[in-house]
Amino acid sequence: MTEKEPGPGGPAPRIPHQGPPEHHGRPPVPPPGGPRPHGGPLPGGPAYGPPPAGGPTAPPPGGPPRGPVPPPGGPVSGPPPGGPAYGVPGVPQPAAPLRPRRRWIPLAWLVFALSVVVGVWAGFSGFVGAVEQIAPTHVFQSGGKVSAPLNPLDQPVLYASASGPTNVTCLAQDLTGQPVKLTPTTIRQTITANGRTWEGMFDITVPAAGTYQISCETQGGKVLFGIGKRLTASAGGFAKGAAALFLIPLAGFLFASIVTIVIVVRRRRARAARTAETRGAWPQAPQGPHPRV
């Protein structure tokens, strides 16, 4: 039998389909090793898209959601646990005070002020003690006589206390009646002790340590005489007083100066170290000329 040609107005002849066969319903399974239709995953590969219910990333039924739970009324989003916190920084904590404290500086200068007071007191006490050592101890009035132990090492001096100029005549001798030389003082010596002013009149030149007798006569008024020592005999006491008056305040001044310098230097270093730590905590802009684009 032969196919008949369609006549005018008859059905069109069927032309065989060229290419892969058409499938209706579910897509065909590709051959092994062939490409997946519509870009789907390969067999055995990971499945993309939303995970199925009950998967490893899904929370258990009725359980809390995985991940950080925001506080009630708080923001939903936030940094992951253990990660850096971004956003607006919190209130900065007050910096610890620098060490050492500045209060040590006024305390050091207070020590200097106390050293000045102590030095003046020690110096004054030394001077008073030196004066008491040379002040007359054996006293007698004009027309009288006194016996006193004398030593050439003490450099004895005959002092007089009078209200005005008076002519005096004095005599010194040992217990055997041998005269002792009296020489007018070459240096004027005036001291004040126990509210009385004494003026040196004669140096008593004794040959050896012993007891000697001194007597004096005056014309025109009464004079009080006394046997003391030369100023140079108590030079050590005056030197100690001067040393205390000068060295004690000097030691206090050096102490206060050293403490001040040390505290200022250490505080400056601590401030520089803190500034360096603060700069290191934040990224710094590159230094130097800008690179050309």
- Pairwise CA distance, residues 10 & 6, whole Å: 5
Torsional sign, CA 231, 234, 239, 242: negative
Residue 274 pLDDT? 76
Question: CB 287: neighbour CB atoms within 10 A?
Answer: 5
Instruction: Give the closest residue to 130 by CA, choosing from 213, 210, 245.
Output: 245
Are 157 and 185 in contact by the 8 Å Cβ rule? The answer is yes
Residue carrying structure tokens 């923001």 = 75
pLDDT of residue 244: 92
Could you give phi then psi for residue 198, rounded to 5 degrees?
A: -120, 140
Q: What was the pLDDT predicted at 3? A: 46
What are the two backbone dihedrals, phi and then psi, of residue 195, each rounded to the nearest 5 degrees?
75, 10
Answer whether 188's CB lies under 8 Å from 200's CB.
yes
Per-residue pLDDT of the chain (293 residues; tens, 9 = 90+): 444 454 455 555 555 555 555 555 555 555 555 555 555 555 555 555 555 555 555 555 555 555 555 556 555 555 555 555 555 555 555 556 666 677 888 999 999 999 999 999 999 998 888 888 888 989 999 888 999 999 999 899 999 998 877 888 999 999 888 999 999 988 888 888 888 899 999 999 999 999 999 999 988 778 899 999 988 878 888 888 999 999 999 999 999 999 999 999 988 887 787 777 766 555 555 555 655 65
SS3 state at 239: helix
Model confidence, pTM: 0.50
